[in-house]
A = this chain, B = another copy of it.
Amino acid sequence: MGRTSDAREKLLAVAFQLIWDSSYGGVSVDQICERAGVNKGSFYHFFGTKASLAVEAYEQHWKLQQPEMDRLFSAQLGPLERLSLWCSFVYQCQKQKAQEYGRVCGCPYASIGGELATQDNEIRSKSAELMARNTKYLETTIAEAQRLGLAGAPDVKAAAQQVNAFVLGTVLSAKIQNDLEVLRNLEPTVIAIIGARVAVSL
C-alpha cells in the first residue's frame, strides 16, 4: 500500500552514470538528485547515505550487464573465441562511452574502487566483489582452454587474475592518457599471458 515510485531506479541509474563520468568525490548528492529529477528528501527516503547509494548503484549495474557477459562467454563458443570477443567488447564499450562523454572514462568498478579503497571499506569490497565476478568468467574460460590444450598456465586462477589485471591496467592507461589506441589490440597479449608458460618451457 501507499504510493509507488520509480525514483529509486532513476537515482541508481543517474548515480552510476555521474560517478563513472567524474568520480565519487566529484559528484554531490544534490547533483544526483537534480539530474534524476528527485528531491533530496526522497533520496534519503530510499538510501541511508551517499555511500550506500553507490554500492547499490554498482550492484544494479552489474545485474543489468550480466546478460551481455553471459552472451560474450557463451559455452557455445570456443574459449579463445570468448577471450577475443571480450577484448573487442572492452574496446567497443570504452569507445562508445568516450564518444558519449567526450573523454575516456575507464572501468567504472575499478575507478570507484581505486578512489575509495583506502577510505570506505564497503565500497572497496563491493568493487572487489564485482571485479572478482568478472574474473570468474576468465577463469572458467582459461580452464577450458587448458583442458583443450590451447593454453599452458599452471595456475588457472592466477592466469585469470593476470589477464584481468592486464586489461584493467590498459583501460586505466587509456583513461589517464585519454586515448583509446592502447585498447585496440588487447588480444595478442592476453593470449601470450595464458599461453606463454607452455611456449616458454619448450
Tell whether, in the assembled complex, residue A162 and residue B177 are in contact, meaning their CB atoms are under 8 Å apart. no
> Which B residues are CB-close (under 8 A) to A23?
25, 115-116, 118-119
* Interface membership of A165, Cβ < 8 A: yes
Tell yes or no: A188 within 8 A of B by CB.
yes
A103 adjacent to chain B (CB < 8 Å):
yes
In the complex, what distance in Å separates the CA atom of A196 from the CA atom of B175?
26
A176, B131: Cβ atoms under 8 Å?
A: yes
- Judge whether A118 and B101 touch: CB under 8 Å: yes
Contacts of A103 in B (CB 8 A): 117-118
Which residue of B is nearest A162, CB measured? B189
Q: How far is the CB of A90 from chain B (nearest CB, A)?
A: 12
Task: Name the residue on B nearest A23 (C-beta).
Answer: B115
The copy count of this chain in the complex is 2
**Docked complex Cα distance between A141 and B21 (Å):** 36
Binary CB contact string for chain A from 36 to 51 against chain B (1 if under 8 A, 0 otherwise): 0000000000000000
Q: How large is the interface on A (under 10, 10 to 19, 20 to 34, 35 or more residues)?
A: 35 or more
CB–CB A182/B199 < 8 A? no
Instruction: Determine which of B21, B115, B173 lies in contact with A165 in the assembled complex, contact meaning CB atoms within 8 Å.
Output: B173
Complex: A164 Cα to B192 Cα, angstroms: 15
Cβ contacts under 8 Å, A106 to chain B: 114, 117
Q: A119 and B176: CB pair below 8 A?
A: no
Tell me the smallest distance from the CB of A151 to a CB of chain B, in Å: 12
CB atoms of A161 and B176 under 8 A apart: no
Task: Give 6 nearest A-B pairs by CB, closest first.
Answer: A169-B169, A25-B25, A192-B196, A199-B199, A165-B169, A168-B169
